[in-house]
Copies of this chain bind each other. A is one copy, B any other.
Amino acid sequence: MALPRNHWVLTFVCADLPGIVHAVSGAVVASGGNITESQQFSSADTGRFFMRLQVESEASRGEFEAALAPVVERYGMTWQLDVVGRPLRTLVLVSTAAHCLNDLLFRQRAGQLPVQIPLVLSNHGSLRDLAGFYDVPFESLPVTDAASKAAFEQRVIDAVDEHDIELVVLARYMQIISPELCDRLAGRLINIHHSFLPGFKGANPYKQAHARGVKLIGATAHFVTSDLDEGPIIEQNVVRVDHTRTPAELVAIGQDEESRTLTQAVKWFAEDRVLLDGARTIIFR
């Protein structure tokens, strides 16, 4: 009788030294596994080595981790072991724009996005029905002043704890996140900015793009840090426009790029394909 096979995804970072691949692949072999996908990168900027492996194995998690333990220790690895395809527990924050939330929920239900969304939080009530159609709980808390903003952020923190959240997505959530919350969620807070960063930071990027007369507009998915619109970039897309487009038309045209860019970034993150190398991201596509 065939044993059940596990499909692991192993990611790790360490100093770039000889022998790492041999050591790690040795642990895979020792635990009866087979490498089905592998990507590596040596960063000339930081001297660090990044690797992502998918491994099919009959070993249990404990057995695989035991095989990995001496390698992890020898190379001082920061590592993570996950199951391929496991849905990531994801909290989504929105305001009034529906397109990004619609794309995330549609793809999640279609089985194209390995996330599990226990809650959508909003500072408005207008997207309640959309969440409801996809059977996702929805809460709204108005944000109108410092106190209500603090209450909203406290609700985010509580929800992260309650639902053991692994990723928070700002799907056109139009409030600035406090530095404290940015720090608390560092590396697991993704935003979609509606311009091709670093062009047009801040508010009203489409209005800025129209005034400047650019010929391509874009969208940028990035990790959020307390430095506004300066966090590490995960994905970017652009689309061609011309002089006939009004700022309002740019908004409509740009929504496509926003949705697909954010969804792509969330997908890669959920598949453990996004690693941080200083201010830059490694994307193991």
Contacts and interface: CB of A to CB of B under 8 A. Distances in A.
Contacts of A99: 106, 110
A175 interface: no
A72 interface: no
Given A197-B214, A213-B281, 14 more contacts: A21-B28, A22-B22, A25-B25, A37-B42, A38-B38, A41-B243, A197-B199, A211-B279, A213-B232, A214-B233, A215-B234, A215-B235, A216-B236, A242-B285
A283 B242 contact: yes
Copies in the complex: 4
Given A19-B29, A25-B21, A236 B213 contact: no
Interface in A176-217: 196-200, 211-216
Contacts of A282: 243
A116 interface: no
Interface in A14-62: 18-19, 21-22, 25-26, 28-29, 33-42, 44
A234 B213 CA distance: 9
Interface string A3-14: 000000000000
Contacts of A28: 21-22
A277 interface: yes
Given A216-B196, A238-B216, A256-B260, A280 B22 contact: no
A126 interface: no
A98 interface: yes
A144 interface: no
Contacts of A246: 44
A72 to B, nearest CB: 17
Contacts of A252: 112
A283 B260 CA distance: 25
Contacts of A242: 283, 285
B238 A212 contact: no
